[in-house]
Amino acid sequence: MDVSHETVRYWWNRFGPVFAAEIRRKRVQQLRAFSKWKWHVDEVFVKVNGKRHYLWRAVDHEGEVLEAVVTKRRNKAAALKFLKKLMKRHGCAEEIVTDRFASYKAALRELGTLEKQRTGRWLNNRVEN
pLDDT tens digits along 35-92: 457 888 988 999 999 999 999 999 888 778 888 999 999 999 999 999 999 888 887 8
DSSP strand pairing (51-60 vs 65-71):
antiparallel
53 and 89 assigned to the same domain:
yes
pLDDT for the residue 35: 46
CA of 24: how far to CAs of 19, 46, 101, in Å?
9, 27, 30
pLDDT tens digits along 98-109: 888 899 899 989
pLDDT for the residue 5: 79
SS3 108: helix
**Position 117 pLDDT exceeds 90:** no
Residue 96 in contact with residue 108, Cβ under 8 Å? yes
CATH code for the domain of 53: 3.30.420.10
Q: How confident is the model at residue 119 (pLDDT cuts 50, 70, 90)?
A: confident
28 and 84 assigned to the same domain:
no
Domain extent at residue 89: 36-128
62 and 104 assigned to the same domain:
yes
